[in-house]
A and B are shown apart, each in its own frame.
Chain A
Amino acid sequence: MTVKIWAVSESPSVANEVASVAAAIAGGAGGGYVVVGLDDSGPLLAGDEKLVVRANTLLSASPEAASDALAVAAKEANPDVILVGSTRDGKEIASRLAVKLGRPCSSEVFGVALGTGALRGKRNVFAGKFIAEVSMTLPCVVALKVGTSPTLPASAALAKERMVGVAAPKTKMVERREKQKGTVDLRGAKLIVSAGRGIKKKEDLTLISDLAAALGGAVGCSRPLSADMGWLPEEHHIGLTGVTVHPDLYLAVGISGQLQHVAGVKDSKVIAAVNTDKSAPMFEASDYGVVGDLYAVLPAMLREIKARRH
């Protein structure tokens, strides 16, 4: 059976990753895949075919309008699988499309493979304690967990355009503020030093940032530090409801290791922890751990790292 796969390029940051999953499924099934962009959502890189959907309203600014337009185009082309990145807006587009097209839908899916008449995949459940195997009968809509797949080289296929008419969205965006870029880009970081409640006061975060700087890494934190204490902006929050990261090294400092936090870091290559409490769950989720006071251990680590440079 040849299958037709759509990779929706809703956001440039995940587009190529979604396309690579589409390419893998299509290649295995002897079908093709179409990368579908929304008006100005960014240049389309990969794709056996490329399609840009435009409408009478700006689609990249409204998940509602985007799903309206994609539904019109999907009803014409009838792809067996529609893949979207499982970003916050991506999940809205996926669930709206699923309702509009009457298709099964799952989110935060990884490890997808085509079965007989169905797409199978995995997703983390119970804060990552268990992995569920999900099966969606074709045709379906799937929001893919991002940050886990490779990206693809660009293809030479020319992009076709399709103009559709949609109703004005029911909500109006009146302002958009980009979060500070450069100060924190945890998703792509190779090395992250992360702070938790073991830090006693805000000024002591320099212990974390100094070590991160010496290692060329980024600074993250557990939820209490951003949400409750407000010591770091929300975009530093790593965990189930924050950023999911997959660095080569994740160093958790003074973080007890609640499931919600570990869920956001478990794809890291190596995990290390520093904590005074030997029974902290973070050690269970770590490759290496130091039982000790971070106020003594971190300066000692910094000295050790600097000594090695000479």
Chain B
Amino acid sequence: MKIAVCVKHAVDETELKVDSGGNPQLKGASTKMSTFDKNAVEEALRLKAAHQGEVVVVTIGTPEAKKTMKEALAMGADRGMLVSADPLAMDTRRTSELLVAALRRGGPYDMILCSEGSSDMYSGLVPPMLGELLDLPYVGYARKIDVSGQLAKIERALEDSVEVVEAPLPLVVSVVSEINEPRYPTLIQIMQAGKKPMEDLTPEALLPGATPPVPLVREMKAQAMARKRVLYEGLPEETAKKLVDALAAEGVLPR
């Protein structure tokens, strides 16, 4: 099986600071592979182990995204494609178009894997757009993938139900994080990752003559967490009573 995995190099939301204007301090912010993308890489590696083949990682990012690319390669992916552009400066449609153009260069693939959404923006729109633009079957929110011959049988985790869906290869699949537990690369794998092939691509080469991207985000402001933050410390009987008293006073306990 030839598998492509789309990953995103994202700002680490847990470390992200607020600047003096209330905006996210994106310059110099700590970055990482988007959390759930590790599950997509893991699933690709699991499928490769079962069916042989190749795993190709595709990402759109600034030069710093090489870090995420190397992490995916260290986990076990065979080669990478990096499109040099800032994903935060475009909408999901342009992101999808660039990924599709990159995928068409290195393809065809039997399966294109993504996570359900990125840990920074969490739109969840790119995976179905890939299916739509590539005119391939798309299955979203997979929690289990079985491939037999040219048929994929996939369990989808929806809000109130689980669906089992069948689709022929090639197809696009997005995974939820409960599908697997991503592996940690070994030190040797991390050192060898730098030697694996990585192709550099540009938006100009992939989408010649395209109009400039239009980001939909106008501004980002820190979320006001207007919580009271009253803390009770001491003996359990006393603190429990104080908490129940406070909640009763708020009117949120049943009478």
A288 to B230, Cβ gap below 8 A?
A: yes
In the complex, what residues of B have CB within 8 A of residue A175's CB?
A: 163-164
Closest chain-A Cβ to B230's Cβ sits at a distance in Å of 5
Closest chain-B Cβ to A310's Cβ sits at a distance in Å of 14
Q: Is A297 an interface residue (CB 8 A)?
A: yes
Q: Is A76 an interface residue (CB 8 A)?
A: no
A99 to B129, Cβ gap below 8 A?
A: yes
Q: Is B160 an interface residue (CB 8 A)?
A: yes
In the complex, what residues of A have CB within 8 A of residue B2's CB?
A: none
**Size bracket, chain B contacts:** 35 or more
A contact face: mostly helix, strand, loop, or mixed: mixed
Q: Is B150 an interface residue (CB 8 A)?
A: no
Q: Is A191 an interface residue (CB 8 A)?
A: yes
Q: 1/0 per residue B120-139: CB within 8 Å of A?
A: 11111110110111001111
CA distance A135 to B219 in the complex (A): 10
A305 to B244, Cβ gap below 8 A?
A: yes
* B residues 217-255 touching A (CB-CB < 8 Å): 217-223, 225, 227-234, 236-237, 239-244, 246-248, 250, 252-254
Among B133, B136, B157, B228, point to the contact of A99 (Cβ < 8 A): B133
Residue of A nearest to B143 (CB): A234
A300 to B13, Cβ gap below 8 A?
A: no
A288 to B164, Cβ gap below 8 A?
A: no
In the complex, what residues of B have CB within 8 A of residue A191's CB?
A: 252-254
CA distance A283 to B232 in the complex (A): 11
In the complex, what residues of B have CB within 8 A of residue A270's CB?
A: 247, 250, 252
Residue of B nearest to A175 (CB): B164
Residue of A nearest to B253 (CB): A215
Q: Is A296 an interface residue (CB 8 A)?
A: yes
CA distance A88 to B160 in the complex (A): 10
In the complex, what residues of B have CB within 8 A of residue A94's CB?
A: 125
A134 to B216, Cβ gap below 8 A?
A: yes
* B residues 160-186 touching A (CB-CB < 8 Å): 160-168, 171, 176-178, 181
CA distance A134 to B157 in the complex (A): 28
Closest chain-A Cβ to B241's Cβ sits at a distance in Å of 5
* A residues 237-289 touching B (CB-CB < 8 Å): 240-241, 243, 248-249, 258-260, 266, 269-272, 274, 278, 283-289
In the complex, what residues of B have CB within 8 A of residue A96's CB?
A: 128-129, 131-132
B93 to A98, Cβ gap below 8 A?
A: yes
A177 to B120, Cβ gap below 8 A?
A: no
Among B137, B141, B241, point to the contact of A88 (Cβ < 8 A): B141
B139 to A171, Cβ gap below 8 A?
A: yes
Check A108/B123 contact, CB under 8 A, given A170-B167, A174-B166, A304-B244.
Answer: yes
Q: Is B80 an interface residue (CB 8 A)?
A: no
Closest chain-B Cβ to A17's Cβ sits at a distance in Å of 14
In the complex, what residues of A have CB within 8 A of residue B194's CB?
A: none
In the complex, what residues of B have CB within 8 A of residue A300's CB?
A: 236-237, 239-241
Check A91/B217 contact, CB under 8 A, given A171-B138, A287-B228, A291-B231.
Answer: no
* A residues 123-166 touching B (CB-CB < 8 Å): 124-136, 143
Q: Apart from A300-B236, A301-B244, list 4 A-B contacts with CB within 8 A.
A: A13-B160, A88-B124, A124-B223, A304-B241
Some 28 contacts from A to B, beta carbons below 8 A apart, are A13-B160, A64-B131, A89-B140, A95-B132, A99-B93, A104-B214, A120-B218, A126-B13, A127-B14, A128-B223, A129-B24, A133-B219, A174-B166, A179-B161, A226-B178, A227-B177, A241-B36, A241-B116, A249-B252, A274-B243, A288-B230, A288-B243, A290-B231, A297-B239, A298-B240, A301-B240, A303-B240, A304-B241
The list of the 3 closest CB pairs from A to B, nearest first, reads A300-B240, A170-B137, A296-B236
